[in-house]
């Protein structure tokens, strides 16, 4: 470990693909984000689309497929899906998604998963919808990724980006991420995306989806659920960090929390960007 002006900086190991999948699954259990996002899609976004069947859809950062399968069900209420392509570098996630899709019986013929990062080479097709779900933290060249998504849109297509706002987990990471793992490469919020999009010749809409996280289990530092939550928040094996540091992180999270039906929760709203095809507006 190395010493910095802010105290001691550690080098906690990153999560393996399997560990990340386990922590991500625990995160979904404490978050209301998925329910709120699905409501936004069904009530706000999809009714405004004037697409023609069948649709081609690309999912970037598909994870274990929970969100994608619900997206398919919503879309199939209005359109047919000719092709659904998923991209995620985590093979553990992809195996789970593949099995869940097979078990779902959904009438989507052209389903495939690429176990790699985006952009995908030789993806020779255009899409009506490209959605990037909490993945830009892990893509070093965010500008290239967004431009790559726009380049493969059909004329009336949309890019959707779901990303954390400066509130919630981002507050925790701003304070502790670099100290926990020696760098803060994953630090990126919807505010950063907003600034990036303003510099591009695109038209976009921005909305905020309400969400809270149940952090009650963090009080029990010896619980598996509490350890996985902390690992997910800090993007590393935080359970291997000194107890004093972990207690400092937990105390900070408690300072953000408020009671809700006998639980302790923190605000964790999600930003969503809906981006249309490149316009004629000159880049800034």
- Tell me the C-alpha to C-alpha distance, in Å, between residue 197 and each of 142, 193, 281: 11, 6, 12
C-alpha–C-alpha distance, residues 39 and 203, integer Å: 24
pLDDT at site 109: 84
Would 52 be classed as within a structural domain? yes
Query: How big is the chain by its Cα radius of gyration, in Å?
Result: 19
C-alpha–C-alpha distance, residues 84 and 7, integer Å: 48
Would 29 be classed as within a structural domain? yes
pLDDT at site 89: 92
Q: Which of 35, 39, 71 is nearest to 55 (CA)?
A: 71
pLDDT at site 280: 42
C-alpha–C-alpha distance, residues 152 and 137, integer Å: 21
C-alpha–C-alpha distance, residues 216 and 257, integer Å: 9
- Strands 127-133 and 55-60: what pairing? parallel
Would 12 be classed as within a structural domain? no
- Tell me the C-alpha to C-alpha distance, in Å, between residue 14 and each of 21, 182, 189, 233, 269: 13, 11, 20, 12, 25
* 167 CB-side CA count, 13 A: 15
pLDDT, average across residues 223-246 = 93
Helix, coil or strand: residue 28: helix
Would 202 be classed as within a structural domain? yes
Q: Are the beta carbons of 10 and 181 closer than 8 angstroms?
A: yes
Would 14 be classed as within a structural domain? no
pLDDT exceeds cutoff 60 at 28 = yes
pLDDT at site 221: 58
pLDDT exceeds cutoff 60 at 284 = no
pLDDT, average across residues 38-64 = 93
Q: Which residue is it, tokens 């092709």?
A: 83
Number of domains in the chain: 1
pLDDT, average across residues 64-73 = 93
**pLDDT tens track for 249-280:** 999 999 999 999 999 999 999 999 999 975 54
pLDDT at site 5: 38
Q: Which of 245, 251, 268, 90 is nearest to 181 (CA)?
A: 245
pLDDT exceeds cutoff 60 at 114 = yes
- Return the CATH number at 83: 3.40.50.150
Structural domain containing residue 246: 19-275
């Amino acid at each position: 470990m190395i010493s910095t002006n802010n105290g001691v900086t550690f080098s906690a190991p990153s999560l393996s693909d399997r560990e990340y999948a386990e922590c991500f699954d625990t995160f979904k259990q404490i978050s209301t984000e998925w329910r709120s996002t699905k409501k936004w899609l069904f009530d706000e976004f999809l009714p405004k689309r004037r697409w023609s069947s069948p649709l081609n859809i690309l999912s970037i950062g598909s994870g274990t497929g929970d969100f994608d399968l619900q997206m398919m069900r919503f879309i199939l209420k209005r359109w047919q899906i000719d092709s659904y392509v998923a991209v995620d570098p985590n093979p553990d996630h992809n195996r789970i998604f593949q099995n869940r899709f097979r078990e779902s019986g959904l009438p989507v013929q052209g389903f495939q998963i690429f176990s790699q990062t985006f952009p995908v080479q030789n993806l020779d097709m255009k899409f009506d919808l490209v959605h990037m779900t909490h993945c830009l933290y892990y893509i070093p060249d965010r500008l290239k990724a967004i431009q790559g998504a726009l380049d493969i849109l059909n004329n009336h297509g949309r890019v959707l980006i779901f990303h954390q706002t400066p509130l919630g987990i981002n507050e925790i990471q701003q304070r502790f991420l670099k100290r926990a793992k020696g760098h803060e490469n994953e630090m990126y919020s919807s505010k950063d995306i907003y600034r990036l999009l303003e510099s591009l010749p695109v038209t976009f809409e921005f909305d905020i989806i309400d969400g809270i996280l149940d952090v009650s289990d963090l009080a029990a530092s010896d619980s598996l659920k509490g350890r996985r939550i902390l690992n997910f928040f800090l993007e590393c094996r935080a359970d291997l960090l000194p107890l004093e540091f972990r207690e400092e992180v937990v105390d900070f999270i408690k300072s953000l929390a408020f009671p809700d039906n006998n639980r302790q929760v923190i605000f964790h709203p999600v930003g969503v960007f809906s981006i249309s095809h490149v316009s004629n507006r000159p880049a800034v």
